Structure 1
Amino acid sequence: MSRYVMVIDATKCMNCKACLVACQQRNHVPLGHARNWVRQTPDVSSPLGFAFQPGACMHCDKPLCVDACPTHATYKADDGSVVIDKSRCIGCGSCIIACPYDARYKDTATGTADKCDYCREYSAPGEVPACVRVCPTHCRTFGDADNPEDPVSLLLKENKQVHVVAKNCDTKPSLTYLNHTIPTDWPRDAEIPATVKAMEHVATGTRWLGGLALFGVIGVFLKQLVLPSDREHGPENAHDDNSRNDQGGQA
């Protein structure tokens, strides 16, 4: 069985944002949202004083988004990727809150959660994700980590591996940086909404029964999840509102 991963050499990124544009076009990402990103980060070792850190969903081996989903719409596939079954997603946003990398968003057109899935829906077998295909410096590489002859496998073997890890919970991200990238501590604290477990049975029931009473009960839970909270989103967090706007403007 293949185990697909993305490997990034951040030192090759020149912030052209071709990866963002290609991803938006391939996956029909709505304006104001992104499945991937390029973060500008301070780097005293660079003559410019800053560096770029491309990123996307970490496709974690221990994904909190899977634990947070009350309908099991988000799951870990056999090939190592974390996938959303849109037919099961109820748009509650629990997975979005749970992801410490802020790699998910709610698609306003479909009402469901969305994120990088390696262009799974639009790629033919053997085809690489759009962001990998268009990168002019080849800073992103995608392939089968369990195939010893795959370029990804060779990169992982021959280089130091660096992972960006959530502050209070190691989700075992499979997205790997090579040799050098900073910072690695920007993800916010990982959390799973307290209402998820209570909501699980109700959410499952709505898929089969669709009763008004059940929708009323689930509405109470959804209101608690959707209403703004006092949770801080400081500038150290992944692609916050300002960086989202900046990326959208430069793309």
Structure 2
Amino acid sequence: MSCSRRRFIVGIGVLAVGSTLAEKLLARTMNVNGIRYGMIHDESRCIGCTACMDACREVNQVPVGVSRLEIIRSEPIGQFPDVKYRFFRHSCQHCDDAPCVHVCPTGASFIDAASGIVDVNPDLCVGCQYCIAACPYRVRFIHPVSKTADKCDFCRKTNLRQGKQPACVLSCPTKALTFGNLDDPHSDISRLLQQKTTYRYKIALGTRPKMYRVPFKYGETSQ
């Protein structure tokens, strides 16, 4: 997905870059029954192929016209022939302190106690769109068929239920995505957080997102 530099900067907002001790400690708080799933998107590995988007749509039967996951491409960085692009994953952040959950009048938006995943119960959703308005990441939408709120759920009702990794993770050809239990110090994601410099999107809002990112290593990563 191509976009102008202005749209790209406005879309990603202000980024908090750095792998501090506080950041790493925060990755293992808010324990929910011993499992709290999160994800790392390695921007230095992502090539913008959108295989993750296609897999998400197929596995979760996402209708045309809406998307649970988008990969946003920056304008070219550098001069021809040495040109690079930065790719930004736009999807639910699965916040530990999720505004969408707080504003839902029916309890349809919730944090799953068994996994820490932020999800939506379509049987309770009345389509009021309060959660869409409250989400600072702008990743929710109304499903055109069910008329209820929808978004990424880390494939909780599809692949995870079958004991598989999320569809986006399995489909990534460059292994740019790592998924696992943030509360398990021996998990791949916990070890990677200890090894890599990461940031979280709009962390200043206090939402405590469980989506981490390894920053793109060429050019600027914040404005």
Name the TM-score class by shorter chain: 0.7 to 0.9
Aligned match of 2:166: 129
Aligned partner of residue 94 in structure 2, secondary structure: coil
CA distance in 2: counterparts of 1:31 and 1:54, whole angstroms: 19
CA distance in 2: counterparts of 1:11 and 1:90, whole angstroms: 40
Gaps of 5+ in 1: 186-251
Amino acid at match of 1:58: Q
Number of positions where the alignment pairs a residue of Structure 1 with one of Structure 2: 184
Higher relative contact order (Cα pairs below 8 Å, separated by 6+ residues): 2
Amino acid at match of 1:114: D
Aligned match of 2:187: 150
CA distance in 1: counterparts of 2:142 and 2:202, whole angstroms: 23
Distance 1:183 1:33, change over 3 A: farther
The answer to whether the 8 Å contact 1:100/1:166 transfers is: no
**Does 2:113 match 1:80?**
no
Larger radius of gyration: 1
Amino acid at match of 2:150: D
Aligned match of 2:28: none
Aligned match of 1:48: 83
CA distance in 2: counterparts of 1:86 and 1:53, whole angstroms: 28
Shift of 1:72: 1.2
Between Structure 1 and Structure 2, which shows a larger proportion of helix residues? Answer: 1
**Does 2:57 match 1:24?**
yes
CA distance in 2: counterparts of 1:161 and 1:43, whole angstroms: 23
- TM (norm. structure 2) is 0.76
CA distance in 1: counterparts of 2:127 and 2:100, whole angstroms: 13
The answer to whether the 8 Å contact 2:98/2:207 transfers is: yes
**Does 2:136 match 1:100?**
yes
Amino acid at match of 2:198: Q
The answer to whether the 8 Å contact 2:86/2:216 transfers is: no
Deviations 1:114-159 (A, max 9, x none): 0000111112353111000000001011111122221111101111
